[in-house]
């Protein structure tokens, strides 16, 4: 799994961003997670982790092995320039017990075939039923799936959809057999 984090060196000793990452403990332990930070060889990078270990870091790629117990952890990345001026970001990681249903839908995607965010895909754990429908602004259905592993690639009938905001509806059944509906918007960015 790769997560992308953005840090900008704008002012000294500032927290530029805070990210959150939830990981279920359902899958035979937590596998190391790769976080990608835009890298500039003119800066120095410092990585600090609680409730985990930095396994490897190279040119902005940070591989963190989070501990396999319920709780939370934190990855702090500090970037310093040659004038000793630094900025940092925090990533708060939370492990979730497997008897919880979680669902996440991003608010934007970029279907430009670069391998990063190329489809609008909803993620979740402990779902008994799932369906995703994507609509244009006039309410016409552009995409439908019952497979949580399949996302919308930003096309309709083989043609590229324009950059715009699209509506979606997710219907799912949680681990206690209750049905829920989430309605939201996603930005297609080209």
**Among residues 121, 125, 128, which one has the least CA distance to residue 143?**
121
When the pLDDT of each residue in the chain is averaged and rounded to a whole number, the result is 84
**How many Å from the N-terminal Cα to the C-terminal Cα in the chain?**
24
Residues 6 or more apart from 152 whose CB is under 8 A from it? 119, 120, 121, 132, 134, 142, 143, 145
Highest mean pLDDT among 2-11, 108-117, 126-135: 126-135
Output the pLDDT for position 182.
96
Residue 151 in contact with residue 110, Cβ under 8 Å?
A: no
Task: List pLDDT tens digits, range 78-128.
Answer: 888 888 887 888 888 887 766 778 899 999 999 988 888 899 999 988 888
d(CA 91, CA 81): 21
Q: Is the pLDDT of residue 143 over 50?
A: yes
Residues 6 or more apart from 178 whose CB is under 8 A from it? none
Residue 91, both tokens: 């990533």
Task: Please classify residue 111 by burial: count the beta carbons closer than 10 Å to its beta carbon, then call 0-12 exposed, 13-18 middle and 19+ buried.
Answer: buried
Q: How confident is the model at residue 35 (pLDDT cuts 50, 70, 90)?
A: confident
For the chain, the maximum distance between any two Cα atoms, rounded to a whole number of angstroms, is 57
Residue 130, both tokens: 């799932």
Q: How confident is the model at residue 176 (pLDDT cuts 50, 70, 90)?
A: confident
| Residue percentage of the chain with pLDDT more than 90 | 37
Helices and strands (H and E) in the chain: how many? 0, 17
In the block, which residue shows the tokens 């259905």?
141
Q: Give 35's strand partners.
A: 3, 62
Task: List pLDDT tens digits, range 67-82.
Answer: 876 678 888 888 888 8
Report pTM: 0.55
3-state secondary structure of 1: coil
DSSP secondary-structure letter at 152?
B
């Amino acid at each position: 799994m790769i997560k992308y984090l953005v840090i900008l060196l704008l002012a000294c000793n500032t927290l530029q961003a805070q990210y959150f990452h939830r990981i279920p403990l359902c899958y035979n332990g937590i596998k190391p997670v790769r976080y990608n930070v835009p890298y500039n060889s003119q800066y120095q990078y410092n990585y600090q982790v609680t409730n985990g270990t930095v396994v490897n870091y190279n040119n902005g790629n940070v591989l963190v092995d989070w501990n396999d117990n319920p709780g939370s952890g934190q990855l702090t990345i500090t970037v310093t320039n040659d004038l000793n001026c630094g900025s940092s970001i925090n990533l708060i990681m939370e492990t979730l017990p497997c008897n919880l249903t979680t669902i996440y839908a991003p608010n934007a995607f970029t279907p430009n075939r670069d391998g990063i965010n190329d489809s609008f895909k909803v993620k979740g754990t402990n779902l008994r039923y799932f369906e995703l429908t994507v609509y244009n602004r006039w309410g016409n259905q552009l995409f439908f799936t019952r497979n949580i592993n399949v996302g919308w690639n930003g096309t309709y009938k083989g043609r590229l959809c324009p950059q715009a905001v699209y509506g979606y509806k997710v219907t799912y059944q949680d681990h206690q057999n209750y049905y829920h509906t989430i309605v939201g918007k996603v930005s297609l960015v080209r």
